[in-house]
Structure formats: C-alpha cells, structure tokens
Structure 1
Amino acid sequence: MSAAMTSTMSSPAELNSDLYTQHIAEKSPTTNSPPGESVTVDEDVSATPEQDAEATPPIAKMSNLRWFSVCIGLYSTAFLYGLDSTIAADVQGPILASLGDLSLLPWIGTGFLLGSVATISLFGSLYTRAEVKWLYLGSIVAFEVGSAICGAAPSMKALAVGRVVAGVGGSGIYLGGLTYISIFPAPSQRPLYTSLISAFWGLGAVLGPLIGGGFAQSKLTWRWAFYINLVLGAATAPIYIFWFPRHGAHRHEQILPRIKSLDWLGTFLNAATFALFITAATYSGSEWPWDSGSVIALWVVTGVVAIIYALQQWTAFLTTREDQIFPVWCLKHRSLVLLFIGTAGISAVNFFNIYYIPLFFEFTKGDSAVTVAVRLLPFIFLMIFSAILSGALMPKFNLYAAWYVVSGILALVGSVLMFLISDTTPVGNIYGFEILIGAGCGLTLQAAYSIAIAKSPVNKATSAIGFINVAQLGGGALALAIAGTIFQNVGFYTLQSALKGRGYSSDEIRAALAGGYSAIISDSSAEVRRLATGAIGDTIADIYGISISGAATVLVGGILMRWERLKWP
C-alpha cells in the first residue's frame, strides 16, 4: 500500500491546514480527442486538460509524509465502512437470542444501508457548501455514535436505530473520502487512489463476518462487533483532527445561508422514498400477507412518494436548479446515466454476494463464523485485485466501455453458475464461481467515480460523485431489500414444503431462516437438518437471479456506452 501511494506523490512544500479554494465558474463544454483519433462526446460536458489546469486553483502540495498520513485516514474510514456493511451478517443469530423480536431482525443489515442511501444525496450537496474537513469529522462522530448505540442496545428497536444512525455517518465519511480524492491527487492518479478505497472497503467487508462472528462466540459477546468501531476510530482520530487539510469552495460566505438554501423538501422525499421501499420489501409476505391492507397501503404510499419526489426534482419545486438534492443535470448526459446504471448493477452484484455466499455456506455446510468468512475470501481477494488493476491500468487502457463489458461478462457467467448450485455442489467449484464474480465486481465497482469526474465540468465534480454514489449505495440497498423479501417468502414456502407433516409451526420455520440458532437447524434430527439445509440452499441459489440481473445490467450498459477514450491529464 505504501509503495503504491508514495510512488504517485509529488514532492512538495507543506500544505497549510486552512487551505481553501475559491468558487469556480462553470466552463463551456469542449471536446478533447487523443491525437489521430476521432471521439464523439455526445451531449456530455467534459473538461479538457487545459480547462482542468486553468480551473483548478494553485493548491500547494503536501509533503509525502503528510499525504501518506491522510491516505491512512481515508482508507481507515473506508475499511470501517466496509466492516460495518457486513459485520452484521454473522451476528444476527446471537442478537436474536439476546434481544428477541424476529420481525426487526432484517434491520440489522438493511438499517445501515438505509441510513446510507437515504442521506447520500444530502451529503453530496453539503460537501459543495461546507468545509470538507469539518463535515468529514462530523460524519465520523455520527458513525461512532451509531456504533455506540448498537453496542449498548437494550432492545432490537434500539439496535435498529443505531444501525440507521451509523449508516448516515458512514455515508458521510465514504463520500468525504471520495471528495478528498477528487480534490488533491492529479486527475490521472485518481483512478488508483479511488480503487484503493475499493480495496480497503473490501478488506473491511471480508473481515466483517469474521470479526463479528468471532466476538459473538467469545466472552465479549456480539456487542463488541460494534464497540470495535469506537476503538479503531479513537486510534486514528489524531490523523483526522490534526493532519487532514481543510478545503472549502465558499471561504468568505456565511455557512447558515448556504445550509438554508439546501433542497430540504427533496431531502425529505428522497429519504422517505428509500425508507418506504425498504420497509415495504422487508415486511411484505414475511410479516404481513401480500394481500393485507397494510402491505397494499405501504406500496401505494411508496409509489406516490416516489412520483412526488421525481416531479419535485424535475420542476425544482421549492428549490432551484443549482440547489436540487438530486443532480438532475446528470440525467441529461448519456454517459453519466449509463455510468449510473452500470454502477448500480455491479453494486447489486457485490452486496448480494457478500451477504449470500456466507449465508449459503452457513446453512448448507454448518460452517462457523470464522469458516464462513474464509469461504468468502476468493470473492473478496479477486474483487480487491481487479479493483486495483482497474485503477492502475484504466488511465493507460482507457477505453472505459470495454472495462464495463468485461466486468459484466465475468460477473454474469459467475452468477449464472451460482444460480445452478445446490447443497451438493463441490466447494472447489463454488470458489471458482466466486472468483469470476469477484473479478467482475472489482473492475467497475469504483471506476465510475473517476470517469464521471473526467466527464463533468470541474465545478460539478462533487455533484457527479454524489450521483454515482446514489447508484452504488442505492443499488446495493435495493438488491439486499429485494433479496431479503424473496428469501423470506420463497424460503418459507420451500422449507414448509420440505418439512410438511413434521409438526413445525410457521414461527419456527421463519426462525430457521434467521440462522443456526433455531430449533429446526440446531436441535433437530439429522434428517430434518438435511431437508432444511437443502431447501434453504436451493432458495439461495434461486435468488441469484438478482445477481444475474445486476451483471446483465452492467454488460448492457457497457455495450451502450460510447467507445471513446478519455485523455487523462
């Protein structure tokens, strides 16, 4: 890691910690083509290297040591974000045994993603108005507060609230890290630095189930799966407080008017849309019958709120075009829309596999938390490797549409093969399928950030980052919500059919879907366990249709992208 970072740093003078940049006027669209090559940039507004150099303020360079320290801070938060995204995967059973309330159990996983995706657009606007350093530090505080609530939770309701709060903070630190990378490194270096966020996020994601399960099985209990964030946050706090540079686009303007001008109606409607959808998906069929008045009303309200949100953003009602919470201007540019679609698709593949590969092994092989985490390593290692490879090579082999096509093909083939597995499929075969999916995910999971910046006016870089972040977090959150609904509904009927006539109640069957802490899985005969694990394994294989759909979306998006080369400065 250190070699990768230091090799791309310039040797500079020390950066003063109160660095600011002035507001940059929007540039006119221009086209820039490599020598001897004709490139059409449709209606996209791309900044040329000359414009970028002209528009970028003369920021003094940091020393290698300080930039290296800043990178440690940035990638530490990416690691924590990845850790918290998956740490709940292996602690649901112990939490259920400790706190009860099966109906709220799904919120341990979806609550964190809900908090993230519901506020990512708000953070995208805030990072264009507020001091980056202080907003970043505030996000870390929110993340730690949410972690503390989870660790000390006396009930499942409190735990669900803590997960949402942690997700809000996580959204801020994740977007803050990407914002820093969009500011300080040279444009040609951004893909590598951005890919390292994937690498450290992936490292945290693979260690999440391992650390969570390890704590759950130790005397410290599952609560330390959340308290660990406080320890890691305190250890790196001096870097954030004393070493992180300041950067703001409105140095001489008062903060309150800038905050008041935010699109607060759009912020509320955005959060409400995601919250209603995830709530409806979580409880439909599993908690309330599909034909019940509650479910029908919930889906109707979700649709109405989504439509109102879309109209409010399109018409800029009670806001302005410049202050809209969702960057509607991005929807007018073909390349940005296709990058959005591709990122949402690959994020759906990524999050789905991180949650459901461990679940498959937990049910079909009876693996412990530690073993389950090891089973996920082929996927994570290939995802990290291909993400770094993509970040390092894309500026040189920068026909970016080709990267999406290859990514979609690898992920699609691997997902189709996983769709065909059963509880008797050899483990070695599954590892091979994981490798294909992981390699496909890594190639494009973070690629859109650097491409979107290059395809956007320099003064809208943060807005473009927020646009792609909505795709990444939204794709993952919606994929998990839909997958959870299918798993609970299809899994219930499949398991009920497999165990028909054996006297198990509906509540016992639903509890079995929560993991190995149910009577059906833990305290039954070998025959019952065999039937149950086979039925649940088949259900997980069936819902790989979600991973197939996400991968196909990436492939189609790549085919439809303009086959142009970006010239990195």
Structure 2
Amino acid sequence: MDNPKEDITLQTMQESGVVFAERSVENDAGEPSSYLMNGRKLGVVCVAFMMSFALIALDQTILSTALATIVSHFHAVSDLTWIASAYFLPQAGLMLLFGRILAIAPAKVVYLLAIFIFEIGSLFCAVAPSVNFLIFGRAVAGVGAAALWVSIMAIIARITTMSQRPIVLGLFGGVFAVASIAGPLIGGAFSDHVSWRWCFWINLPCGGVAIAVVYFTLPSMSPPDFSDKGWRKWLQLDYIGAVLSVAAITLLLIPLQWGGNVRSWNDPLVIGLLVASVVLICLFLVWEHKQGSNAILPISILVDGNMPGACIQTLFVYIAFITPLLYQVEGHSATSSGISILPFMIAGVLTSFIAGATITATGHVWPFLVGPPLLASVAAGLLFAVTPSTRASAIIGYQILLGIGLGAVTQNGLIVAQAQYHNKPESVPQATSVITFITLIGSSLGLAISSAIFSSQLDKKLNAINNISSNSIQAVKISIQAIFILPKDQQTPIIAAYMAAVTSIFLMTVPSAALASISAFLISRGKIAIKGVVATG
C-alpha cells in the first residue's frame, strides 16, 4: 500500500519544480531519498569536503610559525595581530548569515561559491605586495571559510542518515585535528625552506580539486525552505542582524587582541571598545528576538537546552597553538616541535574516530560529552605543572590524555544539534551555523585571551630576572630564537620564564574543560536513535 506521506512529499517537490528520477521517500532527517549517498560516491564527496575542511583548519594555524617572517618581510611588526585576526573576524561575523542563506539557497551553489571566494582570498595573500593587501586577502578568505564551513556541515546533514553521520563527523573531527596541528609545522617548513607565500599557494590546487569533484559528483539540492519564492526570500534576510553581529564581534576581538600587547588593559580605547561590544551584543540579541523566524540567530535555537551544552569543542584551536611552545622554548625547531606533539595529534584523531564509531553503534552521545572534558581538565592541570626538568615521557603522557579528552568531543556536539532538528530540515542549516558560530567565537576568544595571558605572564617573569640587560630581555620578548644566542647561564632563567608563561595558559583550560563537562548536563540524555527518533527526556 502506498504511503500518503510519500505521495504528499513527491507532490510538494514536483510543485516546487523538483522532479526526481525515482519515487521520493524520506530518510531520518526528512530528506528525499534521492539526496542520500552511499558507498564510493559518498566516499568521494566526503574526501572532497574533508580536503576543503582541512584548508579552513590549516589557515587557522599555518601562520603561527610564519608570522615572524611575514612581518619582517613587510617591516610591519605592529600589524602582526591583524594578519591573524583578519581571517577569524569575517568567519565569526558572517557564519550566522550564511546559515540563514542555506535555508533558502541551493546548498551546492553556496558551497561552490564559498570555496571560490576562499581561493580568491588565498591568491590575494600569495601575491600580496603589501601588508595591507595581505590583511585584505585574509579577510576575503575568511568570508569564504565562513560559508564553506557551515555549507559542508549542512550538506552532510542532507546526504547522510543519522546512522552514518557520527562516524562521518568523527572523520571530519580527525581531519580538523590533523590540519590544525600540522599547520604550524607546514608553515614553519615553508618559511624556512621555500617561501611564506606557499602557506597560501597550497590552497589553490587542493581547492581546485575539491571544486571539480563536488561539481561533478554532488547532486543539486533544492533549499529546504519553500515558503517564499523569488526575490522576496532574499529581502527577508536579516541583514541588520548580520551587520550588528560583525560589528559586535569586531569590537570585542580587537581589544582582546590589543590588551596587554599593543595597549594596556586600562587604556581608554581598550575599555571603550569592550563597552561598545557589550552594548552591540545586547542590541543584537534584542533585534534577533524581534525578528522571530527571520532572525539569523533564532533565539529559540540559541536557548534550546541541547545547543549550549553541545558546543564544548572550543578549546582545540588555542591548545594547538600552545603545545608546540613547550618544545620551542627549549630550542626545538618548528619542524621538531611539530614532531614532538604527535602524541597529542594521534590521540585526538584516533579518539575522535572511535567516539564516532561508538555513537554509531550505540546511539549514546551524552557520555562522550561529560567524561572526556573532565579528563582534558586533569591533563591540562598536569601540563600546567610542567617545568624544564619534567621528563619528556611525562609530557608525552599528559599530551595523550589531553588528546583523548578533546578528541572524544570534537564534532559530537554538532551531532546532537543536528539530531535535535531531524524533523525540521529547514532548521538544520541554522542549527549548524549556530553551533559553528559559537565554536568559532569560543576558539577566537580562546586565542585572544591565551595570548594576553601569555604576554602578561612573560613580562612578569622576565622582568623578575636579575643580572640580564634590558636589551636582552627585549630581544627574547620579540623572538624565541634570541634566547639561544645568549650565554648559557642567562638562557636557563629565561627558558624557565617562558615555560611558566606557556604553562599558565593550560591553567585557563582546567576550569574551561570542567565547565564544558557541566554544560553537557543541559543536553538530553536519551539515545540519538538510528532510525530517526531522537529522545528528548
């Protein structure tokens, strides 16, 4: 007997101008069966997505070891933080808008346009004749990355079933982990042996391959929101909310980048920008509440019990920046420090994969959101206690514990968020963008705050050292490599000061990871059912 739901679905799609080659039935996410992909075809598309996903992650960290060379090339040391933050600001500010666009525009088109913009931005950076043009190129790449990130996650939600998704997202978590940690290693190798410009040239062939594969392999997808047609749905986009979002995030991250580095924390400009950001955040939330269903950040999704607790993977990016410093301050090169953090990388990748496979088999995600962050908190506390005399084997063990703790939760929060809206496919892009937005904001804030903590602690520790000239102190503040041209008796206290400044950042991770575990209690504890029923109790 025919299923009336199937006939209604088919009729609705046909009236919307979409005709399927086979009879339309729905999967667990409410998508027509012709969108589902399996076997080799799904594998090829996922590899292309992982390649472009890896480029996003690489661009977050690849410059961490190349920035000194770049600013020296352009004689623009004062612009160092702008080169880094120009990539994050448009991502955080536009992520929500692209989530809304994906509800009314074909996902494949959004993805292809996003990766094209990202490639153009990378090209601008690679050929940049000045530091200002380089910053502009980084911002353009950030716009593309914002749309690319959320479109990949939204497409994955439409071409896979809930039974496939945990392991697929586990693989994406692994790719992100590898790319994020390999970024500093690759950036240092390019800067030392080829040119820093190759940090951007590398994006072009990889992105080109991803464009070709997705264009020829991924089927066209109609947007999930058929409520309006033509230009009206574009006029209803929340452009004012997007402007307020970008402005609020910009005014928040700039003083966090400046504070304790370019300007003191009690500087009137720093205080003024922080106050202005708080005012704009309040205006943004009030405006979004008034916009209702047209908001780029629907308040109903933001306050959903399953949303805030799901966003617990925001610690990863700044940890990836911090850990190599433990080795670089003892004289390791960028390449060597990258090799030394392989225990952290491998533990994170393997745990991410195992967690995804276990969730696929059992349907239980909640235990992975509660236990592993506590393990990460303990591991961060152990790394806080590291000194120059700590055995290498002990540091390796702490890295493994930290990798397990963080790897087990990478992407699992996204599974919860998407599962929550499996019966409302038009809300999946927005739920995905909210998760990604909060994750990105958390990562950006983590970078800014950890940088401020490191700088203030380094100043404090170095200024407390006696019998070392102020010129030497200033030199080692600018460059770690300057430590090793000093006499041996002066190197020891400076290395200890650097080590203390680095490990102080791990202290911030202890309560952050513990709070991440506590926030998971906001999430429903039932199974994410493989057949499309999500427990809400």
Which residue matches 2:395? Answer: 430
Alignment of 1:385-424 (within 5 A): 385-424=350-389
Per-residue CA deviations over 1:286-339 (Å, capped at 9, x if unaligned) read: 11122222222222212221221122222x2xxx31111113112342222322
Amino acid at match of 2:220: R
- The secondary structure found in structure 2 opposite 1:347 is coil
Which residue matches 1:205? Answer: 180
Alignment of 1:144-543 (within 5 A): 144-218=119-193, 220-249=194-223, 254-314=229-289, 316=290, 320-340=291-311, 343=312, 346-348=313-315, 350-363=316-329, 365-456=330-421, 457-459=423-425, 460-498=427-465, 502-504=469-471, 508=475, 510-512=477-479, 515-516=480-481, 520-521=482-483, 523-543=485-505
Amino acid at match of 1:286: N
Give the C-alpha shift of residue 101 in structure 1.
Answer: 2.2
Which residue matches 2:525? Answer: 563
Decide which moves more: 237-246 or 459-468.
Answer: 237-246
Give the C-alpha shift of residue 499 in structure 1.
Answer: 5.7
Kept in 1: contact 2:65–2:334 (CA 8 A): yes
Per-residue CA deviations over 1:240-274 (Å, capped at 9, x if unaligned) read: 33222221225796553322211111111111121
d(CA) in 2 for partners of 1:136 and 1:448? Answer: 22
* 1:545 equivalent among 492, 502, 507: 507
d(CA) in 2 for partners of 1:182 and 1:66? Answer: 16
Kept in 2: contact 1:383–1:442 (CA 8 A): yes
Q: Sort the Cα spacing of 1:499 and 1:214 in 2 relative to 1 into closer, same or farther, 3 A.
A: farther
Amino acid at match of 2:320: I
Amino acid at match of 2:460: Y
Amino acid at match of 2:317: F
* Corresponding residue pairs, total: 508
Kept in 1: contact 2:48–2:209 (CA 8 A): no
Decide which moves more: 533-542 or 485-494.
Answer: 485-494
Q: Sort the Cα spacing of 1:232 and 1:501 in 2 relative to 1 into closer, same or farther, 3 A.
A: same
- Structure 2 gaps of 5+ residues are 1-12, 17-24, 532-537
- Structure 1 gaps of 5+ residues are 1-19, 24-49
d(CA) in 1 for partners of 2:91 and 2:122? Answer: 14
Give the C-alpha shift of residue 564 in structure 1.
Answer: 2.1
Amino acid at match of 2:452: T
Kept in 2: contact 1:313–1:328 (CA 8 A): yes
d(CA) in 1 for partners of 2:70 and 2:15? Answer: 49
Give the C-alpha shift of residue 506 in structure 1.
Answer: 7.8
Percent identity at matched positions?
24
Which residue matches 1:15? Answer: none
Which residue matches 2:10? Answer: none
Q: Sort the Cα spacing of 1:76 and 1:300 in 2 relative to 1 into closer, same or farther, 3 A.
A: same
- The secondary structure found in structure 2 opposite 1:172 is helix
Q: Sort the Cα spacing of 1:22 and 1:266 in 2 relative to 1 into closer, same or farther, 3 A.
A: farther
d(CA) in 2 for partners of 1:306 and 1:510? Answer: 35
Per-residue CA deviations over 1:332-365 (Å, capped at 9, x if unaligned) read: 422223223xx2xx322x11210000122112x2
Amino acid at match of 1:239: V
d(CA) in 2 for partners of 1:134 and 1:333? Answer: 30
Amino acid at match of 1:339: A
d(CA) in 1 for partners of 2:419 and 2:89? Answer: 29
Which residue matches 2:534? Answer: none
d(CA) in 2 for partners of 1:301 and 1:499? Answer: 41
Kept in 2: contact 1:407–1:554 (CA 8 A): no
Matched, 1:89 2:51: no
Which residue matches 2:93? Answer: 118
Decide which moves more: 96-105 or 386-395.
Answer: 96-105
Give the C-alpha shift of residue 501 in structure 1.
Answer: 5.2
d(CA) in 2 for partners of 1:271 and 1:63? Answer: 38
d(CA) in 1 for partners of 2:526 and 2:288? Answer: 31
- The secondary structure found in structure 1 opposite 2:34 is coil
d(CA) in 2 for partners of 1:329 and 1:251? Answer: 21
Kept in 1: contact 2:106–2:220 (CA 8 A): yes
Query: TM-score by structure 1 length?
Result: 0.84
Pairwise CA RMSD of aligned residues? Answer: 2.4
- The secondary structure found in structure 1 opposite 2:525 is coil
Give the C-alpha shift of residue 84 in structure 1.
Answer: 1.4
d(CA) in 2 for partners of 1:61 and 1:335? Answer: 26
Query: TM-score by structure 2 length?
Result: 0.89
Per-residue CA deviations over 1:528-561 (Å, capped at 9, x if unaligned) read: 3333222111011112122112211222123454
- The secondary structure found in structure 2 opposite 1:378 is helix
Per-residue CA deviations over 1:101-144 (Å, capped at 9, x if unaligned) read: 22221233333232322221111111111111111111111211
Give the C-alpha shift of residue 522 in structure 1.
Answer: 5.0
d(CA) in 2 for partners of 1:189 and 1:213? Answer: 37
d(CA) in 1 for partners of 2:476 and 2:35? Answer: 62
d(CA) in 2 for partners of 1:251 and 1:322? Answer: 14
Amino acid at match of 2:527: R
Q: Sort the Cα spacing of 1:330 and 1:51 in 2 relative to 1 into closer, same or farther, 3 A.
A: farther
Kept in 2: contact 1:179–1:465 (CA 8 A): yes
d(CA) in 1 for partners of 2:110 and 2:104? Answer: 10
Give the C-alpha shift of residue 507 in structure 1.
Answer: 5.6
Give the C-alpha shift of residue 476 in structure 1.
Answer: 0.8
Amino acid at match of 1:225: C
Which 4+ residue blocks in structure 1 deviate beyond 4 angstroms?
20-23, 50-54, 60-63, 250-255
Give the C-alpha shift of residue 562 in structure 1.
Answer: 3.6
Q: Sort the Cα spacing of 1:405 and 1:65 in 2 relative to 1 into closer, same or farther, 3 A.
A: closer
Give the C-alpha shift of residue 489 in structure 1.
Answer: 2.2
d(CA) in 2 for partners of 1:63 and 1:445? Answer: 24
Give the C-alpha shift of residue 380 in structure 1.
Answer: 1.4
